[in-house]
Structure 1
Amino acid sequence: MIKINKLWKEYGDNVVLEDISKTVADGEFVTLVGTSGCGKSTFLKMLLGMETASRGELLIDDKPIPGEPDQSRGIVFQQYSVFPHLSVLENVMIAREFERSALLGKLFGVAKRKVREEAQALLEKVGLGPAVSKYPHELSGGMRQRLAIAQALIRKPRVLLLDEPFGALDPGIRADMHKLILELWREHQLTVFMVTHDLSEGFYLGTRLWVFDKVRHDPQAPGAWGAKITYDLTVGEIPSDTLAKVQKITSPEEQQEVGELT
């Protein structure tokens, strides 16, 4: 479904990503790991349409990804993108309302009732049924993240992009969110790309793990070379020697967590 062909991303003399070529089929769950600043979030923004390729191709169904976000791709950031003046229900409904009434951002009559029912059903699925009348400031961090996920899913995207969505959550809440996102991935038959700094999270959630890293360095010109996908691993089929190499790329905290997995 998604084809990446000799993709480069540059900002002036600063090369962020270089010469990436991959294909991703419908329904895959790809987790992206690597050190900070290696282009993971930039790649996610390119999939969303917020950034464009400097060179190469990024295709969905053999067509260039549109130059701006659309209904086919939803995104959830670590920082909750919710409207503080709207209730939980209104925050989910508004995405549908703008989709159907771009000028007013409002629906009326039967159309509004159908969107309300759809939003309420989705909020039940993500565990926010009892909180539909609350406002974002009345929610816990985990509840706000559930709301952000519902906002993304209300438009029925084919591709869900997650940019460190659970990084700010406590471990217990993160475990609940892991279970939720796996259930939604299977139920909605999504193709998922998720950036994470938690390697154990990447192994647990994904079916495929990409490691972003710079393989070439020039001390005199630190921006001359960009990151590549140095490992493309099928989760559950990773040899121990490969796992050890991945550990060296990630942070010390992640190395400890991976050690617990082995």
Structure 2
Amino acid sequence: MSAIPAPILSLQNVWVEYGDKVVLEKVDLDIEAGSFVSIIGPSGAGKSSLLRIILGQERPTRGSIMLDGAPLAPECGPDRGVVFQRYSVFPHLSALGNVMFGLECQQAPLTARLFGSARRAAIAEATQMLTAVGLGDSLHQFPAQLSGGMQQRLAIAQALIKRPRILLLDEPFGALDPGIRADMHLLIKQLWRDYALTIIIVTHDIREAFSLGTRVLALDKRRHDPHAPHRFGATAVYDLTLRKDAEPEPSEERA
């Protein structure tokens, strides 16, 4: 009998509290490598807080988070990338400059500049990534010259250029119109397969959650006290495993 592989990410009895307000409580969650986890829940249920502690932007008040069996580093690391709803690109840099910036910071942390063969290699790698997200013809355009969907493609390229193992998406397609959103769904699923990513997405769109995910996790409060609503936090109230291959039927995206 083959051994069950250890999860890439494990949260054990995680709590997030701000003063006397409890946002998350008793979150126990194992995420397998290669999964695509959709997180849903009402506003204020701690979905973005959960992403922030996985990213390393915040520390849980209680509990532990393990990455590959080791305690999660208390800062954002290259093993985790993130894309937000608001485009997190640098307006003064071209598309190529935006994507190269991550490589420059990684390889030359003091100057954030590369020269010679290192710069040529970075340009080639950034160009390849921009081509992968459909921006191969827009290398020298600035964000203000790009549509909303193109800016979000650029943000995804930024996040992927350092080859993270886990990609975190916080309402990344919420500001896009339905046609562009459908295109972005196809893109993110293709990148998920091509780069062997583990993806965790927060979304308010139930259909999007089920269309994209191999697993859907619902956060909400199990207990409510109308006299002290801040005293109880959200946790995983539903955890549904879907098909292993999240590729939809062709009509599903456009219906």
TM-score, with normalisation over the residues of structure 1? 0.89
Q: 1:24: which partner in 2?
A: 31
| Among candidates 179, 182, 191, match of residue 184 of structure 1 | 191
Matched AA of 1:195: V
Number of corresponding residues: 238
Structure 1 runs (4+) deviating above 6 angstroms are none
Q: Indicate yes or no: 2:86 matched with 1:79.
A: yes
**How far apart, CA to CA, are the structure 2 residues paired with 1:158 and 1:9?**
24
Matched, 1:171 2:178: yes
Paired position in structure 1 for 2:4: none
Identical pairs, percent: 53
Residue 248 of structure 1: aligned partner: none
1:236 deviates by 4.9
Query: Where does 1:1-262 land on structure 2 (aligned, <5 Å)?
Result: 1-236=8-243
Amino acid at match of 1:153: L
Q: Give the superposition deviation at 1:116.
A: 0.4
Alignment RMSD = 1.1
> Alpha-carbon deviations, 1:230-251, whole Å to 9, x = none?
00001259xxxxxxxxxxxxxx
Distance 2:189 2:86 in 1: 21
Cα distance per residue 1:4-52 (max 9 Å; x no partner): 1111111110000000112111101000000011000000000000011
For residues 61 and 236 of structure 1, what CA distance do their matches in structure 2 show? 24
Partner of 1:244: none
Deviation at 1:121, TM superposition (A): 0.7
Q: Secondary structure at the match of 1:131?
A: coil
Unaligned stretches of 5+ in structure 1? 238-260
Letter in 1 for 2:101: I
**SS in structure 2 at match of 1:150:** helix
Counterparts of 2:127 and 2:92, CA distance in 1? 18
TM-score by length of 2: 0.92
Q: Which amino acid aligns with 1:2?
A: L
